[in-house]
Amino acid sequence: MDVAGKKAIVFGGTSGIGLATAKRLAEKGAEVIAVSRDPSKAGAVPSGITLKKCDVRDRAALTDLFRECAPFDILVSAATGGDRAIGPFLEMDMDGYQGSFDKLWGYANVVRFGTEHLSENGAIVLVSGTPARRMKPGQISLASVGAAVETMVRGLAREIAPRRINVVSPGFIDTPMVPLQGKERSDFYAKTTAENIIPRAGTAEEVTQGIMLVIENDFVTGTTVDIDGGWLLA
């Protein structure tokens, strides 16, 4: 796919990986609609990007957004859906664990209601996470949700063909999701990535390169691309 002249919708597109993806698509000539619950987080955006407000858990609002923006060629979701529970499962607040699956429901809504407006040769990309296949202590909710997302995509690939759908699975990425600042932030990333083959946090732009790969390569569908610094092998 040559993205120049194509229309793309990026959920979670006003921060972190989603914003980096929206900017990259716009740089390559796509018309981009960046969507989140709080578009003000994006700050100043380059030309070619339009900001929209929508919660991926709100099916009615999402349906209206898709109808307004249809048709389109590229659909990306990096929206987390809400807070995620961290910690040992046997000590976990089960409302928190259940709430972690808002990411899955959000992705399911995006694909369910967006695909009908996607061009015949369009591409969908969802952002999962490395804990889906190799979790660290306290990450069982992240692993559960990520595994569900990746399984859903493998099942959908044949069903929605010739449209394509893929997952990009990041490891530890330096994004605004981590609120720490200064030395505390750098120490956190140094500790959490020390065992990786590439012992540092990734960048949103590095994840975006993986997202662009599965958008632009017409021979890729139903697969997961890992951008993780070697987390799976550590």
CA dihedral 21, 27, 29, 34 (to 10 degrees): 40
Contacts of range 213-216, beta carbons closer than 8 Å, 24 or more positions apart? 214/123, 214/125, 214/164, 214/166, 214/168, 215/1, 215/3, 215/74, 215/76, 215/123, 215/125, 216/1, 216/2, 216/3
Q: What is the predicted pLDDT for the residue at 4?
A: 98
Specify the pTM. 0.93
Select from 83, 167, 94 the least CA-distant residue to 124: 167
pLDDT tens, the chain, 234 aa long = 999 999 999 999 999 999 999 999 999 999 999 999 999 888 888 889 999 999 999 999 999 999 999 999 999 999 987 778 889 999 999 999 999 999 999 999 999 999 999 999 999 999 999 999 999 899 999 999 999 999 999 999 999 999 999 999 999 998 877 777 888 888 888 888 888 999 999 999 999 999 999 999 999 999 999 999 999 998
Contact 50, 210 (CB under 8 A): no
Place of tokens 């015949």: 120
Domains defined for the chain, CATH in brackets:
7-228 (3.40.50.720)
Cα separation, 189 vs 88, in Å, equals 21
Q: Is 9 left (phi over 0), alpha (psi -120 to 50) or beta?
A: beta
Quote the radius of gyration of the chain (alpha carbons, Å).
Answer: 17
